């Protein structure tokens, strides 16, 4: 997004050094970015985040909901934490940022889903449920705000070579992916930029999975 000219707010909950490193990369390339700590599963912190971003960067036109955890099923606490982080956070952030977009008659919201929303997945039922719910949230908002110049879409990666995808790589998931490799963060970023740039795509889920599954 910074390469496309956007000022970027990098949200984090615990990993301040990594967030600061992203901000520094953007700034060193001539862009504008800030890092802000907020637990986006908590409404009060989300609205505090919204206020600070608006104060420091100006009106917010683009929201990317990508907070996520992938925890193997381990009871009620794990289920609640997964749903709060992966699904409730997207609802809270959308509610916080959407009014300004509707008032300005332009906005883009992209929710980062997963191939697990529509299949067995490899993490657990809580993760499946959270991502399936995220796609339902995407369609619900898309139908309500299209007339206001706001699009809402989801991007659904398959196994991706990141920290979260490490266990899948160790299990040999590459052998099941038709293109012969795991996804890269850049693959997901490019799909995200695609839907942000297209005003006629809304309510859709864009699969980025190397042919592992077809939506």
Spans of all domains in the chain: 61-208
10: region left, alpha or beta (phi > 0 left; psi from -120 to 50 alpha) = beta
β-strand pairing of 8-12 with 62-65: unpaired
pLDDT score for 97: 97
Is the distance from CB of 114 to CB of 135 less than 8 angstroms? no
The model's pTM is: 0.93
pLDDT score for 105: 98
CA dihedral 39, 45, 46, 52 (to 10 degrees): -110
CATH 3.40.50.720 fits 61-208, yes or no: yes
β-strand pairing of 150-157 with 107-112: parallel
pLDDT score for 171: 78
Q: What angle do CA 108, 189, 68 make, to 5 degrees?
A: 80
Q: What angle do CA 169, 129, 125 make, to 5 degrees?
A: 60
pLDDT beneath 70: ranges in the chain? 215
**Whole-Å CA distances, 13 to 34, 107, 131:** 14, 25, 20
How many residues does the structure list for the chain? 215
CA dihedral 72, 208, 169, 26 (to 10 degrees): -90
State the distance between the two ends of the chain, measured CA to CA, in whole angstroms.
26
Structure tokens at 61: 């036109």
The residue with tokens 């919201």 is 109
pLDDT score for 174: 87
18: region left, alpha or beta (phi > 0 left; psi from -120 to 50 alpha) = alpha
Structure tokens at 131: 């991502």
Question: What is the separation of C-alpha 203 from the centre of its chain, rounded to a whole number of angstroms?
Answer: 15
Specify whether 141 is catalytic. no
- Per-residue pLDDT reduced to its tens digit, 56-94: 999 999 999 999 998 888 899 999 999 999 999 999 999
Q: Which of 79, 91, 97, 127 is catalytic?
A: 127
């Amino acid at each position: 997004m910074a390469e496309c000219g956007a000022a970027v707010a990098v949200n984090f909950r615990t990993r301040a050094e990594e967030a600061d490193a992203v901000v520094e990369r953007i700034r060193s390339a001539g862009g504008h970015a800030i890092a802000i700590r907020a637990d986006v599963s908590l409404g009060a912190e989300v609205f505090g985040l919204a206020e600070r971003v608006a104060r420091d960067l100006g009106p917010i036109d683009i929201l990317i909901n990508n907070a996520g955890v992938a925890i193997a099923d381990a009871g009620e606490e794990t289920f609640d934490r997964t749903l709060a982080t992966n699904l409730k956070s997207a609802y809270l952030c959308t509610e916080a940022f959407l009014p300004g977009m509707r008032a300005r008659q332009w906005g883009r919201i992209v929710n980062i889903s997963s191939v697990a929303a529509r299949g067995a997945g490899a993490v657990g039922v809580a993760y499946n449920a959270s991502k399936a719910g995220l796609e339902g949230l995407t369609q619900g908002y898309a139908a309500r705000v299209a007339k206001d110049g706001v699009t809402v879409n989801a991007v659904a990666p398959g196994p991706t070579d990141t920290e979260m995808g490490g266990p899948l790589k160790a299990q040999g998931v590459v052998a099941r992916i038709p293109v012969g490799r795991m996804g890269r963060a850049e693959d997901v970023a490019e799909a995200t930029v695609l839907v942000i740039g297209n005003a006629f795509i809304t309510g859709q889920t864009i699969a980025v999975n190397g042919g592992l599954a077809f939506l």
